[in-house]
């Protein structure tokens, strides 16, 4: 493939990292606990004005709002701790520090499985054995925006074009923001969005199903390229099929395979 065409392919999916979004957002049901919680317990984590609203209901009840910025937030009506500090430490992990008047009384490490459907919480306290709870997702599954987020690397054993270029994707609101040699923000609504520093003028993104997105590029109101992204069920592999026409009139068609880092 001509180098310009290859850059056009990568323009579809080069972006920044997932930022500070909380990977635990959704609703959860407790499926396993080490006796210090009495099932059934429900956990709800929702986005609220740049923060997360956390509600635990059942035998144990908590209700607070905090940001993942490492700063203390108030937890009203709870005798065990009255402050909480949230910090995202990886793509699938969040650290929660429970504090009483500024002093840490417990540290919780929340970790999601790769498919984001199971959450394991490990609670550590001084002079106590770690306590583990496991939650199953019951709602608020990852949106279409999030399927493609993260860092990807080309699987050279499955791709004819051995470029080895890393790919990054960032979810933003109900769309995605791309950056690199080309950049743009677009929603999955079939509308045209402007491209920056690209041989094409606009792109449209359309959700085909939960794991598939079609991208259409236009130049001078003419369709110049069609791409289809397909993410595997476990979210670890992405196949990109692209077909288009170069400014020289040459037709290109390629399939590239990527693995999530």
C-alpha 200/C-alpha 146 separation (Å) is 25
Percent of the chain predicted with pLDDT > 90: 28
What is the domain count for the chain? 2
Percent of the chain predicted with pLDDT > 70: 80
Q: Three-class SS of residue 3?
A: helix
Give mean pLDDT, residues 104-130.
Answer: 90
Q: What is the DSSP pairing of strand 222-231 with strand 118-124? A: unpaired
Domain assignment present for residue 144? The answer is: no
Domain assignment present for residue 177? The answer is: yes
CB 136 within 8 A of CB 124: no
- In the predicted structure, residue 192 carries a pLDDT above the cut 90: yes
CB 258 within 8 A of CB 154: yes
- In the predicted structure, residue 104 carries a pLDDT above the cut 90: yes
Confidence of residue 74 (pLDDT cuts 50, 70, 90): very high
pTM of the model: 0.51
Residues 41 and 111 in one domain: yes
Query: What pLDDT is stored for residue 33 in this prediction?
Result: 79
Query: What pLDDT is stored for residue 6 in this prediction?
Result: 39
Confidence of residue 5 (pLDDT cuts 50, 70, 90): very low
Residues 38 and 99 in one domain: yes
Domain assignment present for residue 255? The answer is: yes
Domain housing 44: 26-139
Cβ-based neighbours of 228, under 8 Å, separated by 6 or more: 208, 212, 213, 214, 215, 240, 241, 242
Q: What is the CATH number of the domain that holds 233?
A: 2.40.128.20
Give mean pLDDT, residues 202-222.
Answer: 88
- In the predicted structure, residue 66 carries a pLDDT above the cut 60: yes
Residues 102 and 161 in one domain: no
CB 176 within 8 A of CB 183: no
C-alpha 138/C-alpha 257 separation (Å) is 31
Sheet arrangement for strand 131-139: 62-66, 51-57, 42-48, 26-33, 131-139, 118-124, 103-112, 93-100, 83-90, 72-74
The number of C-alpha atoms within 13 Å of 35 and in the hemisphere containing its C-beta is 2
Residues 54 and 105 in one domain: yes
């Amino acid at each position: 493939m001509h180098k310009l065409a290859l850059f056009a392919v990568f323009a579809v999916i080069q972006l920044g990292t997932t930022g500070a979004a909380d990977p635990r957002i959704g609703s959860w049901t407790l499926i396993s606990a080490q006796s210090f919680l009495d099932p059934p317990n429900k956990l709800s984590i929702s986005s609220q004005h740049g923060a997360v609203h956390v509600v635990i209901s059942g035998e144990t009840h908590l209700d607070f709002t905090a940001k993942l910025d490492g700063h203390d937030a108030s937890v009203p009506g709870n005798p065990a701790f009255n402050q909480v500090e949230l910090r995202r430490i990886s793509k699938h992990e969040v650290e929660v520090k429970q504090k009483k008047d500024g002093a840490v009384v417990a540290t919780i490490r929340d970790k999601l499985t790769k498919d984001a459907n199971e959450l394991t919480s490990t609670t550590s306290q001084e002079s106590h054995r770690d306590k583990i709870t496991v939650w199953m997702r019951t709602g608020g599954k990852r949106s279409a925006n999030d399927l493609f987020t993260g860092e990807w690397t080309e699987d050279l054993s499955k791709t004819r074009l051995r470029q080895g270029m890393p790919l990054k994707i960032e979810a933003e609101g109900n769309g995605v923001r791309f950056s690199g040699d080309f950049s743009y923000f677009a929603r999955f609504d079939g509308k045209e969005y402007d491209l920056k520093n690209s041989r094409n003028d606009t792109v449209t993104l359309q959700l085909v199903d939960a794991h598939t997105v079609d991208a259409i590029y236009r130049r001078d109101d003419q369709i110049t390229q069609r791409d289809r992204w397909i993410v595997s069920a476990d979210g670890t592999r992405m196949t990109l099929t692209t077909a288009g026409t170069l400014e020289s009139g040459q037709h290109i068609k390629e399939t590239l395979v990527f693995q999530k880092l």
